[in-house]
Amino acid sequence: MALRTLVAWSALGLLLWRCALALQGGMLYPQESPSRERKELDGLWSFRADFSGNRRRGFEEQWYRRPLRESGPTLDMPVPSSFNDIGQDWHLWDFVGWVWYEREVILPERWTQDLRTRVVLRIGSAHSYAIVWVNGVDMLEHEGGYLPFEADISNLVQVGPLPSRLRITIAINNTLTPTTLPPGTIQYMNDTSKYPKGYFVQNIYFDFFNYAGLQRSVLLYTTPTTYIDDITVTTSVEQDSGLVNYQISVKGSNLFELEVRLLDAENKVVANGTGTQGQLKVPGASLWWPYLMHERPAYLYSLEVRLTAQTSLGPVSDFYSLPVGIRTMAVTESQFLINGKPFYFHGVNKHEDADIRGKGFDWPLLVKDFNLLRWLGANAFRTSHYPYAEEVLQMCDRHGIVVIDECPGVGLALPQFFNNVSLHHHMRVMEEVVRRDKNHPAVVMWSVANEPASHLESAGYYLKMVIAHTKALDPSRPVTFVTKSSYSADKAAPYVDVICLNSYYSWYHDFGHLELIQRQLTTQFENWYKTYQKPIIQSEYGAEAIAGFHQDPPLMFTEEYQKSLLEQYHVVLDQKRRKYVVGELIWNFADFMTEQSPLRVLGNKKGIFTRQRQPKSAAFLLRERYWKIANETRYPHSVAKSQCLENSAFT
Ligand code: BDP
């Protein structure tokens, strides 16, 4: 077996240290610690969509200058949530343009009086362009949904007598343009016999509803003025020792000391170090294994970093604790190795949406989805088609669910989307994704795009640059994009480490003809493998089924057809997975909302679960299959049992 040394941790772990991210500053997840506090601003915000013709009344009238209620009527808007499904007004559901959020908050005295405290405002995500004012002062702008951004607001809050009352105003624009990710276009309908003057529609080139708003938590948190700004961890294994390489960046002062300790799951210190970078050696380390791959999955250590510093105002200390999973990864011509063992992705693609909260982050939904993943015996998912909330990745780390982390590079369908401005933005988005997610052991691969028009020469160059940039940011992980082009036309496949293929045989092609799937899928795999000799993941396949629709013999849109289509795919996947196919991800975990179209019945119904997370027949089929594969591929070999249901056939 010729080992492709694309992603061997041991060789490359150190490299990562030298590869500083182009972005300034870290994006550590805000946590409470002896030196840090957080205050969540979730709950009800005041809200107004700017329905004016040019959507700019809010700027013309400077709505950020005074409380929003003083410039007109406001709605109650829950945060986190998408604003679209909350109201009863269809115009809000479909709104394109600027919406305004506002919230007032009173800060604790110690935050405003102790000048050794740094106060930060963090927005988990705002889709898609955001401007933030605090007490009417313009603090921050950010382009791109699905990723966090923050501003140090200490100067603003540490000024006067108590109480320190903050008014936070956030204007968000969900308009998609040829240079946003995802891209889109605005089309003015000029035929006044059909449309009123100024009428426009937003065209998008992807298949999910463009939910928008403050869809993740907004919070305030503190650090000392000299603080741990970022931590980068890479791991490798040498004989039976785990090696944890760390690099720490500190901001605020050059006069500091750092102590680093690694604790095991029982809180026992297993290694320690000092300084901004180093390597910790853990003899007999417990490795981080994916769910169902090993008897002891998802083992996490904690890297505790303690900073002490001298400042002009006196000594300060900071403390941050980062979960660390020790694991290795490598890609060969035909395998994806985790901890030196072949890993087979048997999982799902997801979306973040569900019922009235749209894409708003929600703990019950998160826990339910993880229970369903474990019930299913799924060991992986792709964050189709944008980075998910950080809390999702934390769950993956804890439960051993492997993640292909995808950026919002979806809908790159038109030639004009492959321009230099987009390329620059796409690279920056990858910097933000890697900066946020680099320390999650669950993340094993970056996906820079979904189904771009990769048959175009311009797309080939564009994707080559984005992939190269991503590899420079993080040489430790493989990089891919997901293609639907043919093996002979794709111009960017030469640059990926793993080929990810979407195909919809007997659904979008030769619909109704299930008997063609085996032939067409076999040809697909063989052509791609012959051309590239790289491992292949069937990154999407599936069929629509409306829960409760039944027909025998199976017809499209029934549960039976969905199930039969999957069965046909599985025959070929079973032949190829022992060779070079290293994964299968069903499209989709659950039904999800889309734009309205004659092809969609209240959204996309390719879920194996409904949008309310109830199983269709296909879910039971996949469950049986995933547990079977898990039991074939477990190390050391032993039979795993579903821990989820007592009345299950698998317990
Ligand atoms: C694939 C896209 C996915 C769609 C799916 C479908 O990657 O976003 O939802 O098709 O049509 O091509 O169901």
| pLDDT digits 0-9 by tens, 58-116 | 999 999 999 999 999 999 999 999 999 999 999 999 999 999 999 999 999 999 999 99
pLDDT at 637: 81
Cα separation, 519 vs 540, whole angstroms: 18
Query: Residue 91 Cα, ligand 1 centroid: separation in angstroms?
Result: 26
End-to-end, the C-alpha distance of the chain in Å comes to 37
Strand partners, 585: 347
Q: What confidence category does residue 163 fall into, taking pLDDT thresholds of 50, 70 and 90?
A: low
**Ligand 1 near 485 CB (within 6 A):** no
Please enumerate in sequence order all residues whose Cβ is within 8 A of that of 430, keeping only pairs 6 or more positions apart, or say none: 407, 446, 448, 466, 469, 470, 473
Which tokens in the block code for residue 623?
A: 């469950």
Q: Sheet harboring 137-143: ordered strands across? A: 75-79, 43-49, 98-106, 165-173, 129-134, 137-143
Q: Sheet harboring 314-324: ordered strands across? A: 269-274, 256-263, 301-311, 314-324
Q: What are phi and psi of 71, to 5 degrees?
A: -100, 10
pLDDT at 230: 98
Cα 310 to its chain centre, rounded Å, is 38
Q: Given its phi and psi angles, is residue 144 left (phi above 0), alpha (psi -120 to 50 degrees) or beta?
A: left
Q: What confidence category does residue 642 fall into, taking pLDDT thresholds of 50, 70 and 90?
A: low
**Length of the chain, in residues:** 651
**Ligand 1 near 451 CB (within 6 A):** yes
**Ligand 1 near 606 CB (within 6 A):** yes
Atom of ligand 1 nearest to the CA of 592: 9
Ligand 1 pocket: which of 204, 206, 207, 454 to mutate (most atoms <8 Å of CB)? 207
pLDDT at 549: 98
Q: How far is CA 77 from CA 42, 49, 69, in A?
A: 10, 11, 13
Q: How far is CA 18 from CA 13, 104, 223, 407, in A?
A: 10, 42, 26, 24
Mean pLDDT score, 318-324: 98
Q: What amino acid is encoded at 58 in this protein?
A: G
Nearest of 622, 502, 614, 521 to residue 562 by alpha carbon: 622
**Burial bucket for residue 368 (CB in 10 Å: 0-12, 13-18, 19+):** middle
**Ligand 1 near 346 CB (within 6 A):** no
pLDDT at 569: 98
Q: Whose CA is nearest to atom 3 of ligand 1?
A: 207
Nearest of 520, 415, 423 to residue 469 by alpha carbon: 423
Q: Whose CA is nearest to atom 4 of ligand 1?
A: 207
Query: Residue 153 Cα, ligand 1 centroid: separation in angstroms?
Result: 41
Cα separation, 246 vs 272, whole angstroms: 11
Peptide bond into 217 cis (omega under 30): no
Cα separation, 474 vs 472, whole angstroms: 5
Query: Residue 20 Cα, ligand 1 centroid: separation in angstroms?
Result: 35
Atom of ligand 1 nearest to the CA of 544: 13
Ligand 1 pocket: which of 565, 604, 605 to mutate (most atoms <8 Å of CB)? 604
**Ligand 1 near 154 CB (within 6 A):** no
Cα separation, 130 vs 366, whole angstroms: 26
Query: Residue 207 Cα, ligand 1 centroid: separation in angstroms?
Result: 6
Query: Residue 293 Cα, ligand 1 centroid: separation in angstroms?
Result: 29
Whether 258 and 306 have beta carbons less than 8 Å apart is answered as yes
What three-state secondary structure class fits 387?
coil
pLDDT at 372: 98
Range in 29-33, 311-315, 348-352 with the lowest mean pLDDT: 311-315
Query: Residue 564 Cα, ligand 1 centroid: separation in angstroms?
Result: 19
**Ligand 1 near 540 CB (within 6 A):** yes
Atom of ligand 1 nearest to the CA of 385: 8
Max avg pLDDT among 16-25, 163-172, 465-474: 465-474
- % of the chain at pLDDT higher than 70: 95
Cα separation, 69 vs 196, whole angstroms: 30
Q: What confidence category does residue 471 fall into, taking pLDDT thresholds of 50, 70 and 90?
A: very high
Please enumerate in sequence order all residues whose Cβ is within 8 A of that of 266, keeping only pairs 6 or more positions apart, or say none: none
Identify the active-site residue in 150, 390, 451, 584: 451
Average pLDDT, the chain: 94
Whether 250 and 319 have beta carbons less than 8 Å apart is answered as no
CA angle 549, 551, 557 (to 5 degrees): 50
Query: Residue 318 Cα, ligand 1 centroid: separation in angstroms?
Result: 46
Atom of ligand 1 nearest to the CA of 206: 8
Ligand 1 pocket: which of 587, 594, 608 to mutate (most atoms <8 Å of CB)? 587
Q: What is the pLDDT of residues 105-157, one digit of tens each?
A: 999 999 999 999 999 999 999 999 999 999 999 999 999 999 999 999 999 98
Ligand 1 pocket: which of 381, 386, 406, 502 to mutate (most atoms <8 Å of CB)? 502
Cα separation, 306 vs 320, whole angstroms: 7
Burial 549-585 (b: 16+ CB within 10 A, else e): beeeebebebbbbbbbbbebbbebbeebbeebbbbbb
Active site residue 451: yes
Better-predicted residue by pLDDT, 635 or 365? 365
Query: Residue 111 Cα, ligand 1 centroid: separation in angstroms?
Result: 47
pLDDT at 296 over 70: yes
Query: Residue 101 Cα, ligand 1 centroid: separation in angstroms?
Result: 32
Q: What confidence category does residue 159 fall into, taking pLDDT thresholds of 50, 70 and 90?
A: confident
Q: Whose CA is nearest to atom 9 of ligand 1?
A: 207
pLDDT at 22: 62
Q: What is the pLDDT of residues 232-284, one digit of tens each?
A: 999 999 999 999 999 999 999 999 999 999 999 999 999 999 999 999 999 99
Q: What confidence category does residue 1 fall into, taking pLDDT thresholds of 50, 70 and 90?
A: very low
Atom of ligand 1 nearest to the CA of 384: 8
Q: How many helices (H) and strands (E) does the chain have?
A: 12, 30
**Ligand 1 near 450 CB (within 6 A):** yes
Q: Whose CA is nearest to atom 11 of ligand 1?
A: 207
